[in-house]
Structure 1
Amino acid sequence: MVAHRGASHELAEHTLGAYLEALDAGADGLECDVRLTADGHLVCVHDRDLRRTASTKGLVSTMDLAELSELDFAAWKNPWAELDDEAPDEDEALRGVLTLRKLLETVADYDRRVEVAIETKHPTRYGGLVEKRLVDMLRDFGWDRAGAPVRVMSFSFTALQRVERLAPEVRLVQLLDKPNYWPMLKRVVGRDWVIGPGIKMIRDHPRVADSIGRSGRDIHVWTVNKEKDLQRCLDLGVKAVISDRPRLMLDLLDDRFGGNQ
């Protein structure tokens, strides 16, 4: 069970607090999106601009890490929290912008193996520099080799090719949200690449889902938050489920199989 942007149903996505909550829930893996700041830092942010998650019009790519560090990335999730006199004080470090390095350090120091699924966002003004910086960071951790607890995901086939050239042993996931892309992609993606379809595509296009299932490739599905959709994934033989609600999904799996899956 992979936590989508952390335990993002309960806590603000991509914050350290959301990821710690997911780990406490027993998530086997963590998923994050990464973007490059103006001064070259990889940060865990989904949108190109900050209006939704930090209440500002700024763009991630035009701001320095120091500027981003001044913003609150959690207030949007519970805008009335400041009116609750009984709410406990929260560590500001759990609410601010999260660098990829900090997330990987957290995983490396954890008391069990935790997988990290890192999605590079495209298009971006920095192009292939995102993948280069990402691979450099994976090398810092010794995670650019086979067996490392990381995989790189993208909707961009070109981006994944870059990672393959820079670090051939890193596992890759070709994300997919349009069923008409599959006939072409299945001919060109690497033999060992994972396929990552969205649950909406699995739900709405069962023929395509069956074709992906017959391809012999590992399948990782996003974003699965309902019991019926979890069952669809189990029926398809999915290897990893990515969810905003890791605790709920793990409880459902525990009810079925008597242990975390």
Structure 2
Amino acid sequence: MSSTFRQRVVGRRGAAALAPENTLAAFEAGYRAGADVLHVDLRLTADWHVVAMHDETVDATTDGDGRVGDLDLASLRGLDAGSWFDPRFAGERVPTWDEVLELAVVRDVDVLAHLHGSWSGLEAALVTDAVLDAGFGARTTAASSDPGTLDAVAAAEPGVRRSLVLHRSDPDLVARCVDLALDTCSPHGRLLIQQPGLVARLHDAGVGVLGWALDDPALWRRAVDLDVDAIVTDDPERLRAWLRPEVPAQRRAA
């Protein structure tokens, strides 16, 4: 591939293939691997703190159990979020949204914040206020599969970019994105195969396209051929090497 290749690399959950997902270790790994953007899953704790967590429960990615929304921040911070992936990550903690933003600011890398579930305007403001406090409004995109949540983000801070995450076919997708005034849409990789004209239709409507959860070179090839604007992958190091084999993927630690 040419070194002028314009599609951006998004490290999903930081770099879920390289380190325990949604931990500071994973976000650092994503940066080191050459990701242009760090994707992070966000949920609310029982005491209204925004934390990095994909699942509704902590069971799969920590040594604890229970729903994120039923636990307070102190309880979550006491969990080991690294050992399940590899013993060398023992002691990794569930990071707060503020900590993820702090890392992104220091590393000078954009953020794709995926809000899971339905968020009210007051809840969405917890995300956008932190972005504004960090001076990172122009570098952050809020993503969700819930249109109501995307509306809540826009009400809280109109300047934050927004993206609709799509896991299944929607015949009204382009109109929906236009009605929501979205900057981008994030269809799952399989939809790019099933609907080869989808990217072009979104582009024609002025909506950018992020190819979601693409971890196979065959899917990367398909996404490139369709001219997506970014590829969201668990393994940004391997994708970066595939895109630009003549450029080293690893960044040096600062």
Shorter-chain TM-score range: 0.7 to 0.9
1:117 equivalent to 2:112? Answer yes
* Structure 1: runs of 5+ lacking an equivalent: 82-88
CA-to-aligned-CA distance 1:137-170 (integer Å, 9 cap, x gap): 11211233xxx21111111111111111221111
Counterpart for residue 185 of structure 1 = 176
Bigger CA drift: 172-181 or 60-69? 172-181
Q: TM-score, normalised by structure 2?
A: 0.87
CA-to-aligned-CA distance 1:4-50 (integer Å, 9 cap, x gap): 00111121100111111111111111000111111221100011111
Is the helix fraction higher in 1 or 2? 1
Partner of residue 54 from structure 2, selected from 40, 46, 56: 46
Counterpart for residue 231 of structure 1 = 221
Relative distance call for 1:259 and 1:17 in structure 2 (3 A) is: closer
Q: Secondary structure at the match of 1:174?
A: strand
CA-to-aligned-CA distance 1:88-110 (integer Å, 9 cap, x gap): x6573xx1111110111111122
Relative distance call for 1:23 and 1:183 in structure 2 (3 A) is: closer
**Aligned counterparts of 1:158 and 1:138: Cα–Cα separation in 2:** 20
> Retained in 1: the 8 A contact 2:199–2:227?
no
> Retained in 2: the 8 A contact 1:201–1:209?
no
Counterpart for residue 143 of structure 1 = 136
Count of residue pairs brought into register by the alignment: 240
| Greater RCO, CA 8 A, separation 6+ | 2
Identity of aligned residues (%): 27
**Aligned counterparts of 1:135 and 1:185: Cα–Cα separation in 2:** 23
Counterpart for residue 155 of structure 1 = 145
Relative distance call for 1:189 and 1:65 in structure 2 (3 A) is: same
**Aligned counterparts of 1:142 and 1:117: Cα–Cα separation in 2:** 15
**Aligned counterparts of 2:17 and 2:235: Cα–Cα separation in 1:** 6
Q: TM-score, normalised by structure 1?
A: 0.84
1:71 equivalent to 2:68? Answer no
Counterpart for residue 84 of structure 1 = none
Relative distance call for 1:129 and 1:35 in structure 2 (3 A) is: farther
What is the CA-CA distance between 1:259 and the residue it aligns to?
A: 8.2
* Structure 2: runs of 5+ lacking an equivalent: 1-8, 250-254
**Aligned counterparts of 1:221 and 1:158: Cα–Cα separation in 2:** 22
**Aligned counterparts of 1:212 and 1:221: Cα–Cα separation in 2:** 12
> Retained in 1: the 8 A contact 2:11–2:30?
yes
Q: CA RMSD in A?
A: 2.1
What is the CA-CA distance between 1:208 and the residue it aligns to?
A: 3.7
**Aligned counterparts of 1:135 and 1:209: Cα–Cα separation in 2:** 28
Counterpart for residue 104 of structure 2 = 107
